[in-house]
């Protein structure tokens, strides 16, 4: 692989990492701290993620516990989780927030797969954007006489192969997540 592409491969990987992080927030019926840890909360005159304001744990496979370090933020965190519109209802219980994961219905699973497919498409668009950025850079390198015409075509071919490789990875991630969502 050309050194230029080796250096730029991290841009493709960034798209994949963003996709994986986004998909962990899709609930599959199991309680997982990743469902709520990145939800933004208005606190201390700024916006912070829940993971920076509270400890998040699972009580059992269907229950999440959010324990704010500052109990004054209880209502703000509860409101942020409710407003996140991820299909869960937080309940303030003393100094903690308890979230019972609702049973996944077939309708919910189908909706979740639809949301997942939208995120997959966003990732594919991101990969194409990185590809176009790299293609423009290669064209510029050739224009500035840093590459010969043959090297340009070879490099453009490698960019397309790399894009295809990462697009296949997106598809595989999507199939795995869809199986996870649809499994009862």
Per-residue pLDDT, averaged over 125-154, amounts to 91
pLDDT, mean over the chain: 87
**pLDDT tens profile 8-18:** 889 999 999 99
The more confident residue out of 135 and 31 is 135
* Model confidence pLDDT, tens digit, residues 6-48: 888 899 999 999 998 888 777 666 777 888 888 899 888 899 9
Residue 7 burial by Cβ neighbours in a 10 Å radius (0-12, 13-18, 19+): exposed
**Total residues belonging to the chain:** 184
Question: How much is the average pLDDT of 65-90?
Answer: 87
Please name which of 69, 71, 29 lies closest in space to residue 53, comparing C-alpha atoms: 69
Q: What is the pLDDT of residue 184?
A: 63
Domains of the chain (ranges, CATH numbers): 3-24+105-182 (1.10.132.20), 33-100 (3.30.1360.40)
């Amino acid at each position: 692989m050309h050194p230029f592409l080796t250096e730029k491969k991290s841009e493709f990987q960034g798209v994949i990492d963003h996709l994986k992080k986004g998909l962990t927030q899709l609930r599959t019926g199991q309680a997982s701290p990743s469902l709520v840890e990145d939800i933004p909360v208005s606190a201390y005159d700024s916006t912070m993620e829940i993971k920076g304001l509270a400890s998040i744990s699972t009580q059992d496979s269907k229950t999440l516990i959010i324990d704010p370090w500052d109990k004054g933020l209880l209502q703000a965190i509860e409101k942020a989780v409710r407003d996140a519109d991820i299909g869960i209802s937080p309940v303030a219980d003393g100094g903690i927030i308890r979230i019972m994961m609702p049973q996944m219905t077939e309708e919910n699973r189908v909706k979740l797969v639809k949301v997942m497919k939208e995120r997959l498409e966003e990732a594919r668009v991101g990969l194409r954007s990185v590809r176009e950025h790299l293609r423009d850079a290669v064209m510029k390198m050739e224009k500035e006489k840093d590459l010969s015409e043959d090297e340009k075509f070879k490099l453009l071919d490698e960019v397309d192969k790399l894009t295809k490789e990462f697009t296949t990875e997106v598809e595989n991630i999507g199939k795995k997540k869809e199986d996870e969502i649809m499994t009862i």
